Every structure is written in structure tokens, then in C-alpha cells.
């Protein structure tokens, strides 16, 4: 190492806090900015860096790694190399088939595309299967390859401009279903390919519903890429909301629902930023949109409707790191009213995060058990759930450690 170089954080003797400080300064990030991304104070960051506070728990280490864009956790923690992508997990067995269908271009095939109406019916059945099956990834992973190929063919073989727009709307929604499968899989480039193709097809369709759904998923892809992409998430969300706004007085229920889902997405991103007032304001806007929908209405893609607003309130409170408020919202939001099994499991995971924030790890583990009962394939691929389980598997409390280990075996994090 040259005398004027920044010390390499991979040197074993450097403590966690020093590594954190070196990586932060290399990125040109102030303590205040890092603190804001973590939902902590600048004084807390300083105390960790100076060694006055011990190394944080696993969930905070991963949050720090995300904020500092650390790809190899050993850069931050020392020890053996560990790709941060571990927390995505190994790919689903059906991932190669789905990827092949996405990547294939049907330019020379002699196959005949099915009618758009037939594709629409198949797509509706696929969405229903996703919501009803506990092993929803396995089910839609089996349906997607042929759906993708047939939808691509329908666009290519459309005989009129109107037919082509209708086919593009179907293709966009097929890509939306694909994004649910590809999310949390170890192929980020495939996720972005699906998201971008879905948005392009939606724009070609000139269909407000297709555009809303594609924007909803695109915003999530941006936001989940880390704090550096929050502005991009907002840009997509707010632009499509502006596009939809003049259509809303006479809109169908599905367009109203996707507009409400986008309002919540804007609030979700604000909560990730730590902007409490903006986050809850967007939640209020989304709730007013939900009240315009019929009782019992449930959007097949976004899960938006009156029943989901309680779950959305839990998410906002959790992302704002408001332990007491998140538990209050968790107590009010009934998972049983959510018709979709994977969305019900996701809500249970958010409730578990709330209980952990409030210092109730045993309740958090019990809630994750309920998530596993609702949809095992949701918790298996959810990073938040896995972080809680792994952290509590190292608990000094024997009974809690045992329960976490049992859940880790169920989820597939540990061998039986």
C-alpha cells in the first residue's frame, strides 16, 4: 500500500467501524447522509465508526452494505468473502426456463399465435393461480414460458394497429407476471430486462391500465436497487400518476386501483427516505382511492383494494422505523382479509418486522411461522424474513434460538 493511498478495508486488523468509515469516505458520503439512509442519527454512525458502539446486528449490517453499495460483505465485516447477493438465495429451479423464454425472439417460427382473448383468459388463470397457490412460484414458473412465447407471437402476427395494441397490452401484463417470478432471483439483469420490456410494451399498447401496472413494477425495481435509485422510482411513479389523473373521473375499477397502488408506491419510497409527512400523505391519497372501489374489490396484479390498506400502513410505519406505530398498525391490520396467499404472507413478514422493531423477537418469529403457513415460497425468497431468522438463530436466549433454527430449516436456510 502506498503512503498516500486510502487503507484497504480488507486488511484483517481493521475493525468493523473503521471499515465502515473507510467505505463511507471513499464514496464521498457524510455521516449525516449515511445516518439518514439508515434511519439512525449521525452521532450513532460516529459511535460505530469510533468503536464506542459494538458491531451492529445482521439486519443493520446489511442495511449499511446496501447504503454503501458494498457487493462483498467481507469488505465491510472482514473474514471470508461473502457476496451480499447471498440474501437473494439460489435460483428457483424453473428460472432457466423462464429466462430462456424471455430471451428468445420468435422471428422465424412457423407457430401460430393464439387469439388475444384466449391469451387474456390464460393470463387471468395464471394470476388466480399466483394468488391461490402456496407454491405460487412453482406454479407460475411452469406457466410463464409458453405464455411469454405466445404473447410475443401475438404481437408479431397482429394484423391491424388495434390488434397489435391489444396484444402489446397482454404482453406487458405477461412481463408483469414474469417480474413477480424473477424478483429476488439471482439474475438482476433478467429482472431489468423484464421490467423494461414490460414498460415498452405498455407504452406501445397505449392502454392506461397496462401503463400503470408496468410503472408500478418499474418503480419497485428502482427502489429495491437502493437509495441511489429512489429518484428514478419517483420519476416513474409520478409521471404515470400525472398521465392517469385526467382519466380518473370516468376510469374503470382496474385503472382506479392501479392509480391507488401508484399513490402508495410514492409513499413507500418516501418512507424509505425517512420522510414521514410525505409518506403518510401518499398513504392517505391511496386510501381515498381505495374507498372509491367496491367493497371486496381486489386488483389481480397490485393486490390493491380496501383490504390492503391496513397492510400498507404497516409497511409505511416499518420503513419509517417507527416501532410503536408499526406495532399499532400491525395489530389493526388483519391478514385474513387479504385474499392473496403470497400477499398475506408478505403482510405477515411486515408485521414480523414491526414486532422486531418494537423489541418483540418472539412474536416476530411466531408471525413468520404464520407467513410460512400462508405461502412458503414467499418467505423462502424474502430477504427481510431471512435476515430476522438468521439473526435470531444466534440469539442468546435458548428457546428463541431453537425456534429460529426450526424456522430456518422450514424455509431452507439450514439443512434438517
Closest CA to 190 of 114, 259, 92: 92
Are residues 144 and 99 part of one domain?
A: yes
Residue 409 lies in a domain: no
Question: How many degrees, rounded to 5, is the angle at CA 46 between CA 41 and CA 48?
Answer: 100
**Taking a C-beta distance cutoff of 8 angstroms, is the pair 116, 170 a contact?**
yes
Query: What is the C-alpha to C-alpha distance for residues 412 and 89, in angstroms, rounded to an integer?
Result: 10
Are residues 113 and 80 part of one domain?
A: no
**pLDDT of res. 170:** 97
Q: Which residue has the higher pLDDT, 101 or 36?
A: 101
Residue 23 lies in a domain: yes
Range of the domain at 142: 92-206
Closest CA to 262 of 283, 277, 292: 283
**pLDDT of res. 195:** 94
What share of the chain has pLDDT > 90, as a percent? 62
Classify each residue of 287-315 as buried b or exposed e, where b means 16 or more C-beta atoms within 10 Å of its C-beta. bebbeebeeebbbbbbbbbbbbbbbbbbb
Residue 351 lies in a domain: no
Using the 3D structure, point to which of 206, 240, 273 is the last residue of a domain. 206
Are residues 128 and 75 part of one domain?
A: no
CA torsion, ordered 324, 329, 334, 339, to nearest 10 deg: -120
- For residue range 370-388, what is the model confidence (pLDDT) as tens digits? 999 999 989 988 888 888 8
- Identify the band that residue 277 occupies on the pLDDT scale cut at 50, 70 and 90: very high
Query: Residue 81's domain is classified under what CATH number?
Result: 1.10.260.40
Are residues 132 and 34 part of one domain?
A: no
Are residues 116 and 47 part of one domain?
A: no
Are residues 74 and 99 part of one domain?
A: no
Residue 159 lies in a domain: yes
Number of domains in the chain: 2
Are residues 197 and 110 part of one domain?
A: yes
**Taking a C-beta distance cutoff of 8 angstroms, is the pair 150, 114 a contact?**
yes
Using the 3D structure, point to which of 183, 206, 229 is the last residue of a domain. 206
Are residues 104 and 62 part of one domain?
A: no
Query: What is the C-alpha to C-alpha distance for residues 267 and 284, in angstroms, rounded to an integer?
Result: 9
Using the 3D structure, point to which of 166, 189, 206 is the last residue of a domain. 206
**pLDDT of res. 345:** 94
- For residue range 131-159, what is the model confidence (pLDDT) as tens digits? 998 889 999 999 999 999 999 999 999 99
Average pLDDT, integer, range 394-398: 86
Are residues 105 and 197 part of one domain?
A: yes
Residue 106 lies in a domain: yes
- For residue range 323-345, what is the model confidence (pLDDT) as tens digits? 889 999 988 888 778 889 999 99
- Cell numbers at residue 415, please? 439443512
Residue 123 lies in a domain: yes
Query: Based on C-alpha coordinates, what's the Rg of the chain?
Result: 22
For the cut 70, the answer to whether the pLDDT of residue 85 exceeds it is no
Residue 279 lies in a domain: no
Are residues 76 and 33 part of one domain?
A: yes
Question: How many degrees, rounded to 5, is the angle at CA 198 between CA 197 and CA 203?
Answer: 95
Residue 58 lies in a domain: yes
- Identify the band that residue 74 occupies on the pLDDT scale cut at 50, 70 and 90: confident
Closest CA to 57 of 364, 345, 373, 346: 364
Are residues 96 and 63 part of one domain?
A: no
Q: What are the helix (H) ranges across 54-207?
A: 58-67, 74-77, 95-103, 116-132, 136-156, 161-182, 188-205
- For residue range 292-307, what is the model confidence (pLDDT) as tens digits? 999 999 999 999 999 9
Q: What is the mean pLDDT of the chain?
A: 88
Are residues 172 and 123 part of one domain?
A: yes
Amino acid at each position: 500500500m502506498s503512503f498516500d493511498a486510502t487503507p484497504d478495508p480488507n486488511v484483517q486488523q481493521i475493525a468493523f467501524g473503521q471499515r465502515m468509515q473507510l467505505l463511507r469516505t471513499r464514496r464521498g458520503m457524510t455521516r449525516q447522509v449515511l445516518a439518514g439512509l439508515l434511519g439512525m442519527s449521525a452521532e450513532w454512525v460516529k459511535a460505530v465508526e469510533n468503536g464506542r458502539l459494538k458491531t451492529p446486528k445482521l439486519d443493520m449490517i446489511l442495511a449499511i452494505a446496501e447504503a454503501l453499495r458494498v457487493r462483498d460483505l467481507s469488505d465491510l465485516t472482514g473474514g471470508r468473502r461473502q457476496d451480499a447477493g447471498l440474501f437473494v438465495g439460489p435460483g428457483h429451479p424453473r428460472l432457466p426456463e423462464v429466462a430462456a423464454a424471455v430471451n428468445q425472439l420468435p422471428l422465424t417460427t412457423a407457430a401460430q399465435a393464439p387469439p388475444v382473448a384466449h391469451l387474456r383468459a390464460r393470463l387471468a388463470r395464471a394470476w388466480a393461480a399466483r394468488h391461490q397457490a402456496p407454491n405460487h412460484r412453482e406454479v407460475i414458473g411452469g406457466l410463464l414460458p409458453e405464455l411469454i412465447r405466445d404473447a410475443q407471437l401475438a404481437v408479431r402476427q397482429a394484423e391491424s394497429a388495434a390488434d397489435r395494441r391489444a396484444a402489446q397490452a397482454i404482453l406487458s401484463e405477461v412481463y408483469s407476471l414474469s417480474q413477480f417470478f424473477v424478483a429476488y432471483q439471482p439474475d438482476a439483469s433478467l429482472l431489468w430486462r423484464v421490467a423494461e420490456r414490460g414498460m415498452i410494451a405498455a407504452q406501445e399498447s397505449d392502454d392506461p391500465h397496462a401503463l400503470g401496472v408496468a410503472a408500478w413494477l418499474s418503480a419497485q425495481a428502482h427502489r429495491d436497487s437502493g437509495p441511489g435509485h429512489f429518484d428514478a422510482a419517483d420519476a416513474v411513479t409520478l409521471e404515470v400518476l400525472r398521465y392517469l389523473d385526467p382519466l380518473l373521473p370516468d376510469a374503470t375499477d382496474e385503472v382506479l386501483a392501479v392509480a391507488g397502488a401508484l399513490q402508495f408506491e410514492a409513499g413507500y419510497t418516501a418512507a424509505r427516505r425517512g420522510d414521514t409527512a410525505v409518506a403518510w400523505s401518499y398513504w392517505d391519497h391511496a386510501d381515498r382511492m381505495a374507498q372509491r372501489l367496491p367493497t371486496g374489490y381486489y386488483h389481480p396484479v397490485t393486490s390493491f383494494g380496501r383490504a390492503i390498506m391496513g397492510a400498507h400502513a404497516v409497511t409505511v410505519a416499518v420503513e419509517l422505523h417507527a416501532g410503536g406505530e408499526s406495532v399499532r398498525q400491525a395489530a389493526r391490520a388483519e391478514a385474513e382479509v387479504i385474499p392473496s396467499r403470497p400477499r398475506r404472507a408478505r403482510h405477515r413478514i411486515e408485521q414480523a418486522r414491526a414486532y422486531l422493531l418494537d423489541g418483540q423477537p418472539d412474536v416476530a418469529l411466531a408471525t413468520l411461522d404464520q407467513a410460512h403457513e400462508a405461502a412458503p415460497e414467499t418467505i423462502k425468497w424474502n430477504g427481510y424474513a431471512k435476515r430476522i431468522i438468521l439473526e435470531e438463530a444466534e440469539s442468546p436466549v435458548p428457546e428463541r434460538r431453537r425456534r429460529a433454527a426450526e424456522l430456518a430449516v422450514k424455509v431452507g436456510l439450514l439443512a434438517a
